[in-house]
Amino acid sequence: MLSVDDVRANPVVHKLVKVADEHLSAQGYTEHGQRHANLVSHIAGNILARLGYAPRTVELAQIAGYLHDIGNVANRQDHATAGATIALNVLLQMGMDPEEAAIVAGAVGNHEERLGEPISPVSAAVIIADKSDVHRTRVRNPNPALFDIHDRVNDAAQHSFVRIDPERRLVILELTIDQAKASVVDYFEIFLSRMLFIRKSAQFLGCGFQLFINRTQML
C-alpha cells in the first residue's frame, strides 16, 4: 500500500509542490510550499486519528493534505480542480488502489470554500487543517510597509493550534494574534468564510466547532 512517505519521497511530487509554490510566490501569495504541505498533512491525519478513524483513513488524509495545493502549478483560481486531476494521475502512476486515489482526489478537489464541500472524512480533515494554517512564517513580502491584509493578518498570527476533543466531539481552533499588527476585525474580514467552511467540515465529522482568539471564545 502506498504510504504518505512514498508520496512525499516521490521526486515528481516534490518538484510539483515546489513549482506550485513558486507560481504563487510570483503572484505575491503567502507560503504554500513544503512547510504548508507537511503541516496540513500532519494536522489532517491527527484530526482523524484523534476522532478514532481507521489508520488507513488517517494515512489517506495525510496524503491528501500533502498534495492539496499541488494544482497551483496550473492556476490559482482552479487549483483545487486541477490538483485533483494531477493527484489522481500521480497516485495511479505510483500504483495506488484506484478507490483510495479517488478519495484523495476528491479531498484535493473540494478543499476551497468557493467551489468545494466536505464530501468524506478525508476531505473534511484536509479542509480543517488547511483553513486553520495562519502564521507569520507564511509571509514572504519583505517590506511591512507593502503588506496587504493577508500579510498583516498572517504576520500578526503568533500561534495557531487545532485541538480535537474526542469526548465532547469538538474541533477547537486556538489562535494567538498580536493586535498591534492586526485586529480581530481584520482577521474576520479575510477568514470568516474559512471559519464557516471549517465549521461545516467539523459538522461533517459529527463535531461542533469553537474558535478562540487570544483565549476569548469568538465562535
- List of residues contacting Fe ion (CB under 5 A): 69, 130
Tell the smallest beta-carbon distance from residue 128 to Fe ion (Å): 12
Tell the smallest beta-carbon distance from residue 98 to Fe ion (Å): 24
Structure-derived torsion over alpha carbons of residues 47, 52, 55, 58, reported in degrees to the nearest 10: -20
Tell the smallest beta-carbon distance from residue 149 to Fe ion (Å): 18
- Nearer to Fe ion by Cβ, of 54 and 115: the residue is 115
- Nearer to Fe ion by Cβ, of 130 and 151: the residue is 130
Q: Look up residue 48 and give its three cell numbers.
A: 482523524
- Nearer to Fe ion by Cβ, of 136 and 146: the residue is 136
Distance in angstroms (rounded) separating the CA atoms of residues 19 and 40: 18
Nearest to 174 by CA among 215, 124, 208, 137: 215
- Nearer to Fe ion by Cβ, of 26 and 52: the residue is 26
Tell the smallest beta-carbon distance from residue 68 to Fe ion (Å): 6
User: What separation in angstroms does the CA of 125 have from each of 8, 26, 51?
Assistant: 19, 29, 10
Tell the smallest beta-carbon distance from residue 169 to Fe ion (Å): 25
**For the sheet containing 208-213, what is the strand order?**
157-165, 170-177, 208-213, 216-217
User: What separation in angstroms does the CA of 100 have from each of 58, 64, 95, 207?
Assistant: 12, 10, 11, 24
- Nearer to Fe ion by Cβ, of 69 and 151: the residue is 69
